[in-house]
């Protein structure tokens, strides 16, 4: 879990003080039927997610420049909010290329890109 704490600190400049209660690889974010015309898929699947009471961090790994979808991070933030109504949600994109995305997000969400 030391890696997750260091990643959090690097991405957001603060320290993760709570214990991490859960960790998921291939974090399924189902797309409700009424959003599928906008999002275009039936689910999103960031590579990792972890959290505890009151917070969630979602981690997306990108290795190929051609695999970036312009709305992907915004869609993940929206879908994560649907699952975690009241939690602080932080999303980190890790990859060899920073697309410079500024996805829409609410006051309890943060987004960072790291090389």
Q: What is the pLDDT along the chain (115 residues), one digit of tens a residue?
A: 688 888 989 999 988 888 899 999 999 999 999 999 999 889 889 999 999 989 999 999 998 877 778 889 999 999 999 999 999 999 999 988 778 888 999 999 999 999 8
Largest CA distance in the chain: 40
Query: The whole model's pTM is what?
Result: 0.91
- Give the count of alpha carbons within 13 A of 71, CB side only: 8
Q: Which pLDDT value is given to residue 77?
A: 96
The pLDDT assigned to 89 comes to: 97
| Residue 102, both tokens | 């500024």
Distance CA 102, CA 107 (A): 14
């Amino acid at each position: 879990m030391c890696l997750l704490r260091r990643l959090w600190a690097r991405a957001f400049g603060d320290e993760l003080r709570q214990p991490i209660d859960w960790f998921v690889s291939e974090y399924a974010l189902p797309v409700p039927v009424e959003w599928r015309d906008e999002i275009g898929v039936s689910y999103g699947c960031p590579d990792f997610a972890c959290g505890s009471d009151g917070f969630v961090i979602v981690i997306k790994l990108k290795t190929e420049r051609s695999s970036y979808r312009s709305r992907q991070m915004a869609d993940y933030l929206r879908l994560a909010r649907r699952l975690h109504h009241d939690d602080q949600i932080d999303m980190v994109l890790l990859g060899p290329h920073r697309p410079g995305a500024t996805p829409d997000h609410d006051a309890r969400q943060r987004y960072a890109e790291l090389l």
